Amino acid sequence: MRIELLNDQRDSLGEGPLWDVAEQRLYWIDSYGPAVYSCDARGGDRKSWRVPEPIGSLALREKGGAIVALRSGFFTLDFDTGAVERIAQTQPGELRPRLNDGKVDRQGRFLAGSMDFEESDPVGALFRLDPDLSVHELDRGIVCSNGPCFSPDGGTLYFADTGRRVIYAYDYDTGTGAVRSRRVFASFEGMRGLPDGATVDAEGFVWSVEVYSGRLVRFDPNGVIDRIVNLPVESTTSLTFGGPELDVVYVTSMARPYQGSYHRHREAGGLFAVTGLGVRGLPEPRFLG
């Protein structure tokens, strides 16, 4: 195994890495930049786009450009012009929630959840944006939405509430996008950190970034820890599989202080590439709208 610092720009809150198979490019965000970034597999040919509000995640569109989950709701982003246009507000009139992590399901719908800006109260919710650009609420009572990802067959949605130190699993209706039967998939009680971004590999195992501990935790489909990978910074936030063979794990991190303390590693906020794990990921779908 090898860990390489791919980009040392020190994102305030690096998040949402996404490898696009069609372009062979990596996308990620700085939530409090706020900005979207893109580069090739080796970190070169970097591009960036500013957005007007804190950003939680993005989905690439089949027709070009992206859907971005900003503080107040879903927006479109035109990569050619940089124009950002609102689709819908998700929790209008509520001051504390902001949209956070999101992922496209196997059918091309975009799911994103919100979080409490203060990360203390369950004011967040989970939303689904359909290709017709309609918005549907799937769940609520969430402190901090993170790590949505899907089993290889698309029938299980994994979703973390970082504030509750837990990853849930839902039965996911691939035909309608409805969820049911929420249950605890994995608890982080007693672990060093909290569940943050996540993805599912080609074997159906769930990889979760343990924020504030600098570890990648791989769970088998029953929620049992299979493997732990230590990283050089504690402020890791999210991950995705990418590269030409989908066998590189790209990991984001944050440089912003946590509870008033600065991170002790100078690489905090960097973008990392982990190779040699012997595991491949799955292609991430594009949003069909």
Residues annotated within the binding site for a divalent metal cation are 15, 146, 196
Task: Give every CB contact of residue 41 below 8 A, 6+ residues apart in sequence.
Answer: 24, 25, 26, 242, 243, 244, 248
Q: What is the DSSP string of the chain?
A: -EEEEEE-S--TTEEEEEEETTTTEEEEEETTTTEEEEE-TTS-S-EEEE-SS-EEEEEEBTTSSEEEEESSEEEEE-TTT--EEEEEESSTT-SSEEEEEEEE-TTS-EEEEEEETTS-S--EEEEEE-TT--EEEEEEEESBEEEEEE-TTS-EEEEEEGGGTEEEEEEE-TTT--EEEEEEEEE-TTSSSEEEEEEEBTTS-EEEEEETTTEEEEE-TTS-EEEEEE-S-S-EEEEEEESTTS-EEEEEE--S-BTTB--S-TTTT-EEEEE--S--B-PPPPB--
| Candidate list 196, 201, 220, 226, residue with the active-site label | 196
Which residues are part of a known binding site for substrate?
A: 98, 100, 118
Output the 3-class SS for 40-91: CCCCCCCEEEECCCCEEEEEEECCCCEEEEECCEEEEECCCCCCEEEEEECC
Give catalytic status of residue 196 as yes or no: yes
- Antiparallel, parallel or unpaired: β 110-116 and 97-104: antiparallel
Which are the catalytic amino acids? 196
